[in-house]
Amino acid sequence: MRSTRLALLIPATVAVLVMAGCDDGDKPAASGGTGTPTTTPAAVPSATATAAPGMDAATKSACATIDKDIQTALKKVASAEKIGPPAGHSAVSAQYSAGAASLYANAFTTSTAVNDAVKDVATEMSELADTWATAPKKAPSKTALTKAVKQLETACSAT
């Protein structure tokens, strides 16, 4: 059971590490970038200026994909819950872990609000995975996950 969870959490951990090392690319342009060709700094501000009034197309697409990932994960969790204890506990835990990992794959958007909301949903899924892995007497509350999903929906619907 631990090796399965570990195998599912490794991609999520890699995604977090990659995301932590990512740079949005705006810093050299903002600092003047004396060694940078003049065409590159001009391109960066114009791209951010067009995205400022609303959400860019890539973020909208990521939100749609993330929503599908969440719905798929929750359907798989519901199926796993029907298995019942004790095997069902491991299956539910694995599905929550897999759902969290899939969210990190799409968490790289230009919107900090969306990225943070995706991380919150993935964190709540991971917390539920950990709870299910301990074979609880009753199903844990999904209130925090529901709240995180609503915050993600709000972030994705921002204009």
Sign of CA dihedral 130, 94, 103, 67: negative
Token duo for residue 80: 């796993």
Q: How confident is the model at residue 52 (pLDDT cuts 50, 70, 90)?
A: very low
Q: How confident is the model at residue 54 (pLDDT cuts 50, 70, 90)?
A: low
Tell me how far apart the alpha carbons of residues 12 and 158 are, in angstroms, rounded to a whole number: 26
| Stretch 132-158: mean pLDDT | 89
Residue ranges per structural domain of the chain: 2-22+55-157
- Of the candidates 41, 22, 24, the one whose C-alpha atom is nearest the C-alpha of residue 33 is 41
Q: Which residues contact 54 (CB under 8 A, 6 or more apart)?
A: 159
| Stretch 4-14: mean pLDDT | 46
The pTM score is 0.64
Side chain identity at 149, as an amino acid letter?
V
Side chain identity at 55, as an amino acid letter?
M
